[in-house]
C-alpha cells in the first residue's frame, strides 16, 4: 500500500474531560465525526498537562525529564529550547521521503521555531500570538477581512474590563505582555474567519494544495492556539450553549482537604484573586469556553473537508488530540490548570481515522499518551524510530484495539508551573490512579468508582495493598525510563 499522508491536529488546553457527559452538548463535532469514522481512545492521557513539556514530548517522543523542557519558558531551571543537536521526529520522516509541514502554536522553544528544525509552514517563538504576525496580516488582505476586535465580557480578577472593546492586534501592546487578557472571555465582533484557528487552517490548506501533486507523501501538524483561553467567540457559535443547562460540576464545592497541600494553595490563590464561588457565574464562563472549543473544532474540520474535496482523504491518516486539558470550574473552582494532575487536566481526547486500515466506530481502553503519537507517526510513514524514545508506537494497536500485549500501566509527569516547582509522578494501572508528590501527600483513587477524585484512598486501611502495588509500579516505571534526577530520587526515597 502507498505510504499515507499524515495530518496530526493538536488543539491547545481543551476543557473536555467529563464535560461532554455532563452537558450533553456536542462540543467537538469534527472530533466526534472522526470517532465515528475511526478509532477513539478512552484512556488517552497527556504525558504532562502543561503546554511546553507536552509539546516537546510530542516532538521528541521522550518524557520531559529527558528532553529538558519540563516547565514552560525555561522556568525554574528548565531548558527554554532543545539541545542544539536535538533531532525532532520530522527529521526521520524527511529521511523517509516525506515533506513535513507545521502550522500554529509552537511553545517548544523561546528562540528556535518549527521551521528552524526543517518543517515548512508557520510558527512563532514561545507561546506566540499570531494576530500581530505578517502572515496573519497577509491573510486578512487576501480574504478582505477586517482587523479583529473583541468586546470583553469577563476578565479574571478585574471586573472593570467588562464591556471594553479592544483590537486583537494590540495584544501584547500597549499592555507589554501577550498574557494580559489571556484569562478572559468575550465576543469576537468581526467575522469568525478572523479567529486564528481559521487563519491557520486556511494557510494549511493552501500548503496541502501546493504539495498534493508532489511525488512525495506529506506530513502536516496543525496546532491552533485555541481553544486555550481567552475564549473569544463569534457568530454563528456565539450563544449556542445555554449556561442554565450546565449542571454544577461535582467537585466545584470541594475544599480539597483530602488532597496535597499545594492543591489547596493554588485554590486559595484563585479565590483571593477574584474567582467567584457562585456556580451561576461559572455557568456563563463555561458556556463561552465550550462555544470557543466548537468554533476551533469547526476550523480544523475545514482541513478534513479540503482533504475530501481534493481526493486525498482515502490515503491520509488523521490524528486528532490535544496537548492537555483544563480544570475550568472543577476542583473547588479552578480557572486554568495550574500544576494539577487531576483527570480534568491529564485525560485527553484522541482519535484516528485511516480509511481501510482502521475500522470505523471502534474504541479502545488501552493506556496511551500523546507522546506515543511520535513513534506511531514514524512507523506509519515507514521511518526510523530512534531507540531513545520513551513513547510506544500504536501502529499494531490501531489494527487490533483489543490486543492483550499492550502496556498494563503508564507513567505521567509534572514538574510545576507559574514559576513554582512541584515534582509529581502519576501511575495509571487498571482502574487506579496514583500520584506521588515530592514533600507532600500522596493520592490514590479508584477512578472508575470515583471519577471526580472526591475520596483519596491513600490513608484507608483496605487500600493498603493497592497503595503498595502502585508505589512499586511507579518505581519500576521511573527506573525503566531513567527518571533519576536528584528530585526524582528524593521522591523515590519518600515512597519507599
User: How far apart are the C-alpha atoms of 172 and 170, rounded to whole Å?
Assistant: 6
Residue 21's pLDDT is 87
Tens-place pLDDT, residues 440-466: 999 999 999 999 999 999 999 999 999
Tens-place pLDDT, residues 342-368: 999 999 999 999 999 999 999 999 999
Confidence at 333, pLDDT banded by 50, 70, 90: very high
Instruction: Assess whether pLDDT exceeds 80 at residue 130.
Output: yes
* φ, ψ of residue 319 in degrees (nearest 5): -120, 135
**Averaged pLDDT for residues 473-492:** 97
User: How far apart are the C-alpha atoms of 262 and 428, rounded to whole Å?
Assistant: 21
CA dist 250 to 2, 245, 259, 346, 414, Å? Answer: 49, 15, 16, 18, 25
**Averaged pLDDT for residues 370-382:** 98
Cell of 415: 514538574
Residue 172's pLDDT is 64
Q: What share of the chain is helix, strand, coil (3-state, %, to 5)?
A: 35, 20, 45
**Averaged pLDDT for residues 324-331:** 96
Residue 462's pLDDT is 95
Instruction: Assess whether pLDDT exceeds 80 at residue 179.
Output: no
Instruction: Assess whether pLDDT exceeds 60 at residue 223.
Output: yes
Alpha helices by DSSP H, listed for 279-341, are: 279-309
Residue 385's pLDDT is 98
Cell of 446: 479508584
Residue 178's pLDDT is 61
User: How far apart are the C-alpha atoms of 140 and 161, rounded to whole Å?
Assistant: 27
Percentage with pLDDT > 90 across the chain: 89
Residue 387's pLDDT is 96
User: How far apart are the C-alpha atoms of 382 and 385, rounded to whole Å?
Assistant: 9
Residue 437's pLDDT is 98
Whole-number average pLDDT of the chain: 95
Burial of 486 (0-12, 13-18, 19+ CB in 10 A): exposed
The sheet that has 184-188: what strands, in order across it?
165-167, 149-155, 184-188, 231-233
**Averaged pLDDT for residues 132-158:** 95
Which residues are bridge partners to 121 per DSSP?
Answer: 102
Confidence at 173, pLDDT banded by 50, 70, 90: low
Instruction: Assess whether pLDDT exceeds 70 at residue 284.
Output: yes
In the chain, what's the furthest Cα-to-Cα distance?
67
Instruction: Assess whether pLDDT exceeds 90 at residue 305.
Output: yes
Instruction: Assess whether pLDDT exceeds 60 at residue 1.
Output: no
pTM above 0.75, yes or no: yes
Tens-place pLDDT, residues 225-281: 999 999 999 999 999 999 999 999 999 999 999 999 999 999 998 888 776 778 998
Please name each of the domains of the chain with its CATH number: 5-494 (3.40.720.10)
Residue 214's pLDDT is 79
Tens-place pLDDT, residues 48-105: 999 999 999 999 999 999 999 999 999 988 999 999 899 999 999 999 999 999 999 9
**Averaged pLDDT for residues 33-37:** 98
Amino acid at each position: 500500500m502507498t505510504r499515507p499522508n499524515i495530518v496530526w491536529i493538536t488543539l491547545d488546553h481543551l476543557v473536555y474531560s467529563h464535560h461532554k457527559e455532563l452537558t450533553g452538548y456536542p462540543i467537538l463535532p469534527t472530533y466526534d465525526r472522526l470517532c465515528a469514522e475511526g478509532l477513539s481512545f478512552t484512556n488517552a492521557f497527556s504525558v504532562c498537562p502543561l503546554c511546553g513539556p507536552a509539546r516537546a514530548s510530542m516532538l521528541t517522543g521522550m518524557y520531559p525529564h529527558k528532553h529538558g523542557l519540563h516547565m514552560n519558558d525555561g522556568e525554574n531551571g528548565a531548558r527554554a529550547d532543545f539541545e542544539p543537536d536535538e533531532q525532532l521526529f520530522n527529521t526521520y520522516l524527511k529521511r523517509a521521503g516525506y515533506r513535513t509541514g507545521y502550522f500554529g502554536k509552537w511553545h517548544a522553544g523561546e528562540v528556535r521555531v518549527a521551521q528552524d528544525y526543517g518543517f515548512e509552514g508557520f510558527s512563532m517563538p514561545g507561546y506566540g500570538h499570531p494576530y500581530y504576525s505578517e502572515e496573519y496580516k497577509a491573510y486578512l488582505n487576501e480574504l478582505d477581512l477586517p482587523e479583529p476586535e473583541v468586546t470583553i465580557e469577563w476578565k479574571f480578577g478585574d471586573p472593570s474590563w467588562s464591556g471594553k472593546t479592544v483590537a486583537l492586534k494590540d495584544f501584547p501592546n500597549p499592555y507589554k505582555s501577550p498574557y494580559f487578557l489571556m484569562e478572559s472571555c468575550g465576543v469576537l465582533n468581526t467575522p469568525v474567519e478572523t479567529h486564528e484557528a481559521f487563519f491557520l487552517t486556511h494557510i494549511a490548506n493552501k500548503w496541502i494544495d501546493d504539495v498534493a501533486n508532489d511525488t512525495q507523501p506529506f506530513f502536516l501538524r496543525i496546532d491552533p492556539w485555541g481553544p486555550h483561553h481567552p475564549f473569544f467567540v463569534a457568530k454563528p457559535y456565539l450563544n449556542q450553549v445555554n449556561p442554565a443547562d450546565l449542571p454544577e460540576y461535582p467537585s466545584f464545592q470541594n475544599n480539597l482537604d483530602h488532597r496535597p497541600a499545594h492543591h489547596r494553595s493554588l485554590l486559595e490563590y484563585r479565590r483571593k484573586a477574584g474567582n467567584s464561588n457562585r456556580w451561576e457565574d461559572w455557568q456563563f464562563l463555561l458556556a463561552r469556553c465550550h462555544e470557543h472549543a466548537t468554533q476551533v473544532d469547526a476550523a480544523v474540520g475545514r482541513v478534513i473537508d479540503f482533504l475530501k474535496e481534493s481526493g486525498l482523504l482515502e490515503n491520509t491518516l488523521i490524528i486528532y488530540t490535544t496537548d492537555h486539558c483544563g480544570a475550568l470550574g472543577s476542583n473547588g473552582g479552578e480557572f486554568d490548570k495550574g500544576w494539577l494532575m487531576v483527570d480534568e487536566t491529564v485525560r485527553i481526547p484522541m482519535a484516528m481515522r485511516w480509511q481501510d486500515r482502521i475500522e470505523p466506530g471502534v474504541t479502545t481502553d488501552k493506556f496511551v499518551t500523546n507522546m506515543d503519537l511520535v513513534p506511531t507517526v514514524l512507523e506509519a510513514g515507514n521511518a526510523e524510530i530512534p531507540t531513545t524514545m520513551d513513547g510506544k508506537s500504536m501502529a499494531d494497536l490501531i489494527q487490533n484495539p483489543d490486543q492483550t500485549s499492550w502496556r498494563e500501566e503508564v507513567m505521567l509527569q509534572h514538574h510545576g508551573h507559574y514559576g513554582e516547582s512541584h515534582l509529581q509522578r502519576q501511575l495509571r494501572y487498571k482502574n487506579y490512579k496514583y500520584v506521588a508528590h515530592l514533600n507532600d501527600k500522596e493520592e490514590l483513587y479508584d477512578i472508575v468508582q470515583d471519577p471526580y477524585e472526591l475520596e483519596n484512598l491513600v490513608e484507608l486501611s483496605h487500600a493498603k495493598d493497592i497503595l503498595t502495588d502502585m508505589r512499586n509500579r511507579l518505581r519500576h516505571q521511573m527506573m525503566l525510563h531513567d527518571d533519576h534526577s536528584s528530585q526524582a530520587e528524593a521522591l523515590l526515597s519518600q515512597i519507599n
